Amino acid sequence: IERVALFKIARTNIWLKKYQDAISTYQQLLALRLSEEDRAIANIGLKNAQDNLHLTEENNKNELALGDTTAAQEKPVEALNHYK
């Protein structure tokens, strides 16, 4: 039951875009004694969460840079949109 619950929690965290929480949950799963199939599914989920976290972090950095650029160009409304 714990295994099933952890899989559901991890998938829900990805759906909610809580990638760090999903990574932690998949790591908990991988610490359990799993079948080969479950281990493969958990590894795929972990990689998916890590990839999404990386993309989100990169997008956030890009938005901040765009906000800084537009703020320097004295476009405060546009800058605020990038900072949101």
* Res. 51 pLDDT band, cuts 50 70 90: very high
Token pair in block for residue 12: 């829900």
* Res. 64 pLDDT band, cuts 50 70 90: confident
Q: What is the pLDDT of residues 17-34, one digit of tens each?
A: 999 999 999 999 999 999
Q: What is the pTM of this model?
A: 0.72
Query: Measuring CA to CA, which residue among 5, 1, 2, 7 is closest to residue 41?
Result: 7
SS3 letters for the chain?
CHHHHHHHHHHHHHHCCCHHHHHHHHHHHHHCCCCHHHHHHHHHHHHHHHHHHHHHHHHHHHHHHHHHHHHHCCCHHHHHHHHC
